[in-house]
Amino acid sequence: MIRYALRCKEGHDFESWFASADAYDALSAKRLVSCAVCGVEDVSKALMAPKVAPRAAPTEMERKIAELRRKVEAEATYVGPRFAAEARAIHEAGESRPIYGEANAAEARELIADGIPVAPLPFLPKARTN
């Protein structure tokens, strides 16, 4: 089904549904489309704008996650899949430098078991999502 905005030669605007664009064309060619207001059969498609749903405002949780993302990306270095090795090297060197990246569950458990502080992030790094 397709909905068209239509206008008759008298200037009346109205809408109508058709099985398809071809169905409208066939009915219009046979002058079987008439104005819903005055009945005139001289009808053409009017300019239509697509109906776009407005974007919902972000929730408080989405705002907080976006804020966390900005902070992490501004203050930490992205190390990608080398996260576990980098975190271990930083810890063993006695350094304190923020990094983020990816680690599987086993790597994360090993880091935690060895006293290396790690935490999951509630988003994928942009470097990985692009």
Q: Would you list the domain boundaries of the chain?
A: 2-45, 60-129
List, for residues 57-78, the tens digit of each pLDDT value.
Answer: 899 999 999 999 999 999 999 9
List, for residues 68-122, the tens digit of each pLDDT value.
Answer: 999 999 999 999 999 999 999 999 999 999 999 999 999 999 999 999 999 999 9
Give the global pTM: 0.56
pLDDT of residue 124: 85
Per-residue 3-state assignment (H helix, E strand, C coil) for the chain: CEEEEEEECCCCEEEEEECCHHHHHHHHHCCCCCCCCCCCCCEEECCCCCCCCCCCCCCHHHHHHHHHHHHHHHHCEEEECCHHHHHHHHHHCCCCCCEEECCCHHHHHHHHHCCCCCCCCCCCCHHHHC
